[in-house]
Amino acid sequence: MKFDPVALATPFFILTVILEIVLARLEKVDARYEAKDTAVSLTMGLGSTIAGVLIGGATFAASLWVYQHRMFNIPMTAIWAWGAIFLLEDLTYYWFHRMSHERRIWWAAHVNHHSSQHYNLGTALRQTWTGGIAGTWALWLPLSFLGFPPAMVAIEKGISLVYQYWIHTETIRRLPPWFEAVFNTPSHHRVHHARNPRYLDRNYAGILIIWDRLFGTFQPELDEEPCRYGLVKNLATFNILRVAFHEWMAIATDLVREPRHALGWLFGPPGWSPDGSRQTSREIKQAWASRIQEAPKKAA
Amino acid sequence: MNEAFLIHSGASALAVAALVALAGWARIARKTPRLDETRARALLAEDFPDEILEQVWLASDGAGAIAKSGASALLLMRVGDSYAARQIPWVKAIAAGTRDGEVAFTPGDAAAPRLRLNLATWPPKGLAA
């Protein structure tokens, strides 16, 4: 029987969304749900599952082909192998996630996960329809090339996805310091979903926050700066097709208008433009830092 | 596609519908009182911190606003219980047409194809040209 952590966790997803809504209704927890926003999040989740099935065969076949040319034979029954795949898959996820924010072609596939201005368990299910097309799944192929069976990689990816579900909530504020130091938590991931300049492009972790600490992208949540969720430019529509494809449409428009800048439009950071008329996250952060520095001078 | 997948997808679709209904029933969205000028300016400042707002016009239903900042128009529209903002050239803003009693601004953005504001008079007198 096939072991699929995400399929097994689906009833848990549904029950916990119900629980969060009911507890918020009873004013036991601080959570906000808006019906249309929730509809978009959950429909994106459903569509992502269908897209995954449609393209999953091809990606799994690719990993099987790579596995046939593997360097080592890593047994699926060894505990050390599960420890190794846990760390290597999580490291792979970090770089996948970072690329998905820092290069526009992959941001186009990932942006819809960030497009809600709410942060609740429903937002966790707002998943991409176009990840398969964007090709980021290829980042996991080296694991099969090393010798990890594709099924083992798929299971670990599923475990990571299920782990990341529960951290999409405002109902849990802070966990014990030792846990916050090592693991990705609701607090760390709220920062990741925030559009405040200070918080942009931070906390890419899947399960272990140590990768962000190691690679210089960690930002703790600050009580004095509450997270404002969503995109730098928020969606002005609940149209599900626009939610799913708006950045792809924007890329296509830019490519048609100025094809000679195709590389920049595709592989530049989101917000890049040849004439500098738009702002990347880095530029937004720099402008914010300048304002912070200038503020005391203006006040004096 | 096998039968199990279709059953799983059908059941998931039903669960989605039930959860959306529950979210609507719970009435736990953010409160969105009518915008006043202070609030509109604060919301616009989040998206356009470097812009100096010369004048702000509030939508008559309190669900949006438009501001003039130099040669730009800054648009703010309520979306669900949140807001979306966009910047367009002022000349484009004053040329916006009215549809079903609302002024329809088109930022030329796939994520914000049209921002509709219920403005009693548009364009404002004296600033039309």
pLDDT in tens, A129-167: 999 999 999 999 999 999 999 999 999 999 999 999 999
B67 contacts chain A (CB < 8 A)? no
The mean pLDDT value for A171-189 works out to 98
Residue B1: pLDDT band by 50, 70, 90 thresholds? low
* Mean pLDDT estimate for chain B: 93
Is residue A33's pLDDT more than 90? Answer: yes
Is residue B86's pLDDT more than 80? Answer: yes
Is residue B128's pLDDT more than 70? Answer: no
Residue A291 with chain B: CB contacts under 8 Å = 49-50
Q: Which of A251, A249, A235, A280 is nearest to A112 (CA)?
A: A235
- Give A11 or A254, the one with higher predicted confidence: A254
Complex ipTM, two decimals?
0.94
Is residue A178's pLDDT more than 70? Answer: yes
Sheet order of strands, B97-99 included: B97-99, B102-105, B115-117
B111 contacts chain A (CB < 8 A)? yes
Q: What is the pLDDT of residue B124?
A: 86
A35: nearest CB among B23, B50, B79: B23
- Tokens, residue B68: 């003039």
Q: Exposed e or buried b for every residue in A244-264, given b needs 16+ CB within 10 A?
A: bbbbbbbbeebeeeeeebeee
* Mean pLDDT estimate for chain A: 96
How much is the pTM?
0.95
Instruction: For residue A287, give the chain B residue with the closest CA.
Output: B50
Residue B117 with chain A: CB contacts under 8 Å = none
The DSSP result for A25-65, as a single string, is HTTSS-----HHHHHHHHHHHHHHHHHHHHHHHHHHHHHHH
Q: What is the pLDDT of residue A126?
A: 97
Decide if A32 contacts A24 (C-beta within 8 A). Answer: yes
Q: Structural domain boundaries of chain A?
A: 5-215
Residue A253 with chain B: CB contacts under 8 Å = 110
- Tokens, residue B129: 């040209």
B15: nearest CB among A14, A22, A230: A14
Q: Tokens 């403005």 label which residue?
A: B119
Is residue A188's pLDDT more than 70? Answer: yes
Is residue B123's pLDDT more than 70? Answer: yes
Q: Exposed e or buried b for every residue in A131-160, given b needs 16+ CB within 10 A?
A: bbebebbeebbebbebebbbbbbbbbbbbb
Per-residue pLDDT reduced to its tens digit, A83-133: 999 999 999 999 999 999 999 999 999 999 999 999 999 999 999 999 999
Is residue A265's pLDDT more than 80? Answer: yes
Residue A122 with chain B: CB contacts under 8 Å = 19, 23
Rounded-to-integer distance, Cα A295 and Cα B99, Å: 43
Contact A236 B80 (CB under 8 A): no
**CA A140 to chain centroid:** 16
Query: Chain B window 34-63: which residues touch A at a Cβ cutoff of 8 Å?
Result: 46-47, 49-50
Rounded-to-integer distance, Cα A137 and Cα A158, Å: 13
Residue B129: pLDDT band by 50, 70, 90 thresholds? low
Instruction: For residue B116, give the chain A residue with the closest CA.
Output: A236
**CA A85 to chain centroid:** 20
Helix (H) / strand (E) containing A255: helix A240-257
B23 contacts chain A (CB < 8 A)? yes
Is residue A1's pLDDT more than 60? Answer: no
Please state, for a pLDDT cut of 70, what percent of chain A lies above it: 99
Strands (DSSP E) along chain B, which ranges? Answer: 55-58, 64-69, 72-79, 82-89, 97-99, 102-105, 115-117
